A = this chain, B = another copy of it.
Amino acid sequence: MDAIAFKDKLKRYGYKLTTQRRAVLDVLIQRPGEHLSTEEIYSYVKESFPEIGLATVYRTMQLFEEIGIVNRLNFDDGCSRFELYVDNEDHHHHHLICEKCNKVFEVENDLLEEIEKEIGEKYKFYVKNHKVTFYGHCQECNEH
């Protein structure tokens, strides 16, 4: 996401482009696949923008979620984590959590269209999004 697209998206929702919001987005762009918590994002942003306040990062993540820039993830570790929402993915990817080493893996394949179609027909529920997490054991933990 470049500066112009970012400003446009904010404007479309009635929000302003600020240095702080840009700095938070930059951290997310520079660290793909890390599933960062708000506190982690805060500490990374501080490297390039030491004046930023923690409350601003919390507010920014809420705003980014609202306007569809990030997905809020819940890995049951007591805090929200975030990843950039990628437009050209049909749906965002799934997560595999290893119950032994707690590593998080990503699954690109979606395959839920079938199920969502059935839910629409059977329950008359229009599915807009989904969150899918698989729990189990990763290759490394199975071998050792």
- Which A residues lie at the B interface, using CB under 8 A? 72, 74, 76, 96, 98-99, 105, 107, 109, 111-112, 114-116, 118-119, 122-139, 142
Contact in complex: B130, A131 (CB < 8 Å)? no
Interfacial chain B residues near A124, Cβ < 8 Å: 138-139, 142
Interfacial chain B residues near A107, Cβ < 8 Å: 119, 123
Given A74-B76, A107-B119, A114-B111, A130 contacting B125 (CB threshold 8 A): no
Interfacial chain B residues near A98, Cβ < 8 Å: 125
Contact in complex: B118, A111 (CB < 8 Å)? yes
Contact in complex: B142, A134 (CB < 8 Å)? no
> Could you name 20 residue pairs across A and B whose Cβ atoms are closer than 8 Å?
A74-B74, A105-B125, A109-B118, A111-B115, A111-B118, A116-B134, A124-B139, A125-B134, A125-B139, A126-B137, A127-B134, A127-B135, A127-B136, A128-B135, A129-B136, A130-B133, A130-B135, A131-B132, A131-B133, A131-B135
Interfacial chain B residues near A130, Cβ < 8 Å: 132-135
Q: State the CA gap A96–B125 with chains docked (Å).
A: 8
Q: What is the CB-to-nearest-CB distance from A105 to chain B, in angstroms, rounded to a whole number?
A: 6
Q: State the CA gap A85–B7 with chains docked (Å).
A: 47
